[in-house]
């Protein structure tokens, strides 16, 4: 073995009562009518005897800073651990509960606030459970490439990172304790009309991996830099049959990555979490924004009336939504605001996991991975928050939904890349 770790895993179901609102789409005002597939919070504790990290994934649209702070506080009541060593993210399903104000105009009433507190408690208790009964393990890392799951959702012919990155932890008897799957693609196969709670395609791959490798194995999905990546141009429908089909595509590629995986050094655990003031957008004056809104509205109406593909209609619809959100931002924020948020890095042996609190455009995730001094670097979005899209200059000029709905400035992408790489370098210096 190239080093040993002690690993513990746990998962708990997140029960969402019927009638609770669902997060992810504008205009879906009706509450859910039931659950199609259970959603979970999952935790993995990794320890080398001196240092430990707790990785937590949640089958929800997002988490926010309040949730993370409360989860960490509850964990610290039972365990001696620092905030930087607790990594909390969400898979970004658009078929989960709406317990966070994820965009302007979203109102969280008392009933949904109570559900949020209940979920916080479930997440914390599950994380604490993962620290018990740690099993001596070694770490493997594998990669594969997937075609047909997603694509760039603005330009379907654009290049993007289609890699599937898989970390597995195996016992000395080669039983798999836990699997981390990292791939960047919006879980939006299920659309606005769906009223059933679901983890979308990540739920399928997690279920299948756990069934394949035994009931004590837990699979955790960590979404990547998927701000402009989705199934918009690759899906055949927006129903649960398509969720299964897409999920099985990814499952096959996860198994391929695991079959080709190699053991890595895994003695060392380093964690860092640092808060930054992110570059904010200088919002346009209201006249300019209104003109853009009227143009987007007109284009949307023409698209809905025309004989064009549903994909192109969706593009027109989202551009209109982005223009509308810009007006809301001007009215509610103006330019008098700051964006203070964390970037987090957990390094376990030869793997670095970079968590960002944003919807990061794919090319910035690629830049982090390609320039990282840790060969096997994963980029994970929706970590410690979901503060909006970090987009390219071209996307803003094109009037895309992602750029126009964002509170971030046009240089935020380079900022995230630079700060992420700096944190990785800082961790390497700790080792030296």
Tell me how far apart the terminal alpha carbons of the chain are, to the nearest angstrom.
23
Rounded to two decimals, the pTM is 0.95
CA torsion sign for 367, 372, 377, 378 is negative
Question: How far, CA to CA in Å, does 427 sit from each of 82, 203, 356, 413?
Answer: 16, 33, 16, 22
Query: Given 3-state DSSP classes, what are the helix, strand and coil percentages for the chain, each rounded to the nearest 5?
Result: 35, 25, 40
Give the tokens for residue 190.
Answer: 């299920």
Q: What is the mean pLDDT of residues 331-335?
A: 83
Question: How far, CA to CA in Å, does 107 sit from each of 23, 100, 111?
Answer: 11, 8, 11
- What are 275-310's pLDDT values in tens digits? 999 999 999 889 998 998 998 899 888 888 877 777
Nearest to 225 by CA among 60, 344, 62, 368: 368
Give the tokens for residue 90.
Answer: 């969400």
Share of the chain above pLDDT 90, in %: 82
Does the annotation place 94 within a ligand binding site?
A: no
**What is the DSSP secondary-structure string of 392-406?**
-HHHHHTT-HHHHT-
> Is it the case that residue 207 has pLDDT exceeding 90?
yes
pLDDT for the residue numbered 394 = 95
Q: What is the mean pLDDT of residues 46-50?
A: 95
Q: What is the mean pLDDT of residues 357-381?
A: 99
Does the annotation place 36 within a ligand binding site?
A: no
Which of the four pLDDT bands, split at 50, 70 and 90, describes residue 432? Answer: low
Q: How far, rounded to the nearest angstrom, does the alpha carbon of residue 8 sit from its chain's CA centroid?
A: 22
- What are 71-114's pLDDT values in tens digits? 999 999 999 999 999 999 999 999 999 999 998 889 999 999 99
- What are 208-239's pLDDT values in tens digits? 999 999 878 999 999 999 999 999 999 999 99
């Amino acid at each position: 073995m190239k080093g040993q770790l002690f690993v513990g895993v746990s998962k708990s179901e997140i029960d969402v009562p019927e009638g609770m609102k669902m997060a992810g789409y504008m205009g879906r005002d009706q509450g859910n009518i039931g659950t199609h597939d259970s959603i979970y919070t999952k935790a993995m504790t990794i320890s080398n005897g001196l240092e430990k990290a707790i990785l937590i994934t949640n089958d929800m649209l997002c988490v926010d800073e309040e949730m993370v702070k409360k989860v960490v506080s509850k964990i610290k009541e039972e365990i001696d651990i620092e905030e930087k060593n607790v990594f909390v993210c969400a898979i970004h399903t658009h078929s989960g509960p709406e317990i966070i104000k994820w965009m302007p105009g979203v109102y969280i009433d008392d009933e949904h606030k109570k559900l949020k507190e209940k979920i916080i408690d479930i997440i914390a208790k599950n994380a604490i459970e993962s620290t018990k009964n740690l099993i001596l393990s070694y770490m493997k890392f594998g990669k594969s490439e997937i075609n047909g799951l997603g694509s760039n959702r603005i330009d379907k012919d654009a290049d993007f990172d289609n890699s599937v990155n898989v970390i597995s932890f195996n016992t000395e008897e080669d039983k798999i304790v836990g699997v981390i799957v990292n791939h960047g693609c919006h879980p939006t196969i299920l659309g606005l009309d769906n009223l059933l709670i679901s983890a979308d395609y990540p739920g399928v791959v997690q279920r299948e991996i756990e069934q394949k490798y035994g009931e004590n194995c837990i699979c955790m999905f960590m979404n990547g830099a998927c701000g402009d990546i989705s199934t918009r141009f690759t899906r055949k429908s927006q129903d649960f049959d398509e969720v299964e089909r897409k999920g099985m595509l990814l499952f096959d590629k996860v198994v391929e990555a695991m079959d080709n995986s190699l053991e890595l050094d895994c003695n060392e655990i380093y964690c860092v979490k640092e808060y930054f003031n992110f570059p904010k957008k200088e919002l346009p004056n209201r006249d300019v924004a209104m003109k853009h809104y009227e143009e987007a509205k007109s284009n949307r109406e023409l698209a809905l009336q025309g004989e064009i593909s549903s994909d192109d209609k969706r593009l027109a619809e989202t551009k209109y939504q982005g223009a509308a959100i810009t007006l809301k931002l001007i009215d509610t924020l103006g330019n008098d605001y700051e964006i203070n948020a964390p970037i987090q890095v957990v390094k376990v042996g030869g793997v670095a996991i970079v968590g960002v609190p944003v919807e990061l455009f794919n090319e910035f995730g690629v830049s982090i991975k390609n320039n990282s001094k840790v060969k096997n670097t994963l980029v994970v979005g929706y970590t410690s928050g979901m503060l909006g899209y970090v987009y390219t200059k071209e996307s803003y000029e094109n009037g895309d939904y992602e750029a126009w709905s964002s509170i971030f400035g046009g240089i935020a992408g380079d900022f995230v890349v630079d700060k992420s790489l700096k944190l990785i370098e800082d961790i390497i210096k700790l080792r030296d």
